[in-house]
């Protein structure tokens, strides 16, 4: 429903690049995408790699776009949005991927009502396997939410939630790739500790996590049920699981997500 719309992206970092890649692979013509990025080298890279339009001028990119993706750092919200306010009208949809910035803050920076959708994607979007949750601002319509969901489905999977839950999304899936990467690294280190060459240990760890995720996704079963299928009485797996329980693995993961959620809430209060 947005294939003929001009799409402006303010900020040209990794997540912006993931969105560009997904939009183009999803059938959006590169000449429909304009990116505002202050770093010349980054502009050159995006233009060369994806053939999108680039500019150092935020207002130039925002002018005339029906859809604008805000892919900037949270601390830049005041200066950037005040700078593009003249280019925004009631028909413009603003999609924000800024962590910790509520829709109400964005809405308050414009003199007239604006349509805002808040999104929390994660870095696997770079491989078109992202997990994104979206929430509607005060003036966003059902059609706007459908449009936002269609965009993020191009880089993975998308869920709609109430905005009050976005901090929990940030703590779980937004920061989650870092937890998973740490787990993969720990598996690899454990393999090396027990005599495996690093290359073999790293490959086994990565494929084990990837394959297990694929299996879980394909079967749709509860993780506990799948775990039972590889846990034989008196076997190696139950011995390993006991060590995880003694180390408080599940409780640690839950506290990890809670800590990240609380930090997201704190960042939002500072705006």
Phi, then psi, of 131 in degrees rounded to 5: -120, 120
Q: Which residue ranges make up the annotated binding site? A: 10-15, 58, 71-74
CB atoms within 10 A of CB 205: 20
Q: Which residue ranges make up the annotated binding site for NADP(+)? A: 10-15, 71-74
Q: For the chain, how big is the Rg over CA atoms in Å?
A: 21
Asked if 36 and 62 touch (Cβ cutoff 8 Å), the reply is yes
3-state helix, strand, coil in the chain (%, to 5): 60, 15, 30
Between CA 225 and CA 175 the distance in angstroms is 26
Residues near 223 by beta carbon (within 8 Å), at least 6 away in sequence: 216
Q: Which residue ranges make up the annotated binding site for NADPH? A: 58
DSSP 75-140: GGHHHHHHHHGGG--TT-EEEE--TT--HHHHHHTSSS--EEEEEE--GGGGGT-EEEEEEE-TT-
The per-residue b/e assignment along 187-196, b for 16 or more CB within 10 angstroms, e otherwise, is bbeebeeeeb
Between CA 244 and CA 85 the distance in angstroms is 52
Angle (nearest 5°) at CA 122 between 121 and 123: 135
């Amino acid at each position: 429903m947005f294939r003929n719309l001009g799409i402006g992206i303010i900020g040209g970092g990794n997540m912006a690049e993931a969105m560009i890649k997904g939009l183009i692979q999803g059938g959006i013509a590169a000449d429909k995408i304009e990116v505002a990025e202050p770093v010349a080298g980054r502009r050159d890279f995006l233009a060369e790699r994806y053939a999108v339009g680039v500019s150092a001028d935020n207002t130039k990119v925002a002018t005339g776009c029906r859809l604008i993706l805000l892919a900037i750092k949270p601390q830049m919200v005041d200066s950037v949005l005040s700078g593009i306010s003249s280019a925004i009208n009631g028909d413009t949809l603003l999609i924000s991927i800024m962590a910790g910035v509520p829709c109400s803050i964005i809405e308050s920076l414009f003199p007239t009502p604006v349509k805002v959708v808040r999104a929390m994607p994660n870095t696997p979007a770079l491989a078109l396997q992202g997990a994104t949750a979206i929430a509607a601002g005060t003036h966003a319509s059902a059609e706007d939410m459908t449009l936002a969901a269609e965009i993020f489905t191009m880089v993975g999977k998308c869920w709609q939630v109430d905005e009050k839950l976005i901090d929990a999304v940030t703590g779980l899936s937004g920061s989650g790739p870092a937890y998973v990467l740490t787990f993969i690294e720990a598996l690899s280190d454990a393999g090396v500790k027990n005599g495996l060459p690093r290359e073999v240990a790293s490959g086994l760890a990565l494929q084990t996590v990837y394959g297990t995720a694929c299996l879980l996704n394909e079967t749709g079963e509860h993780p506990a049920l799948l775990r039972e299928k590889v846990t034989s009485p008196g076997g190696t797996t139950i011995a390993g699981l006991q060590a995880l329980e003694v180390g408080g693995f599940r409780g640690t993961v839950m506290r990890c997500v809670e800590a990240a959620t609380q930090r997201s809430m704190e960042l939002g209060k500072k705006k």
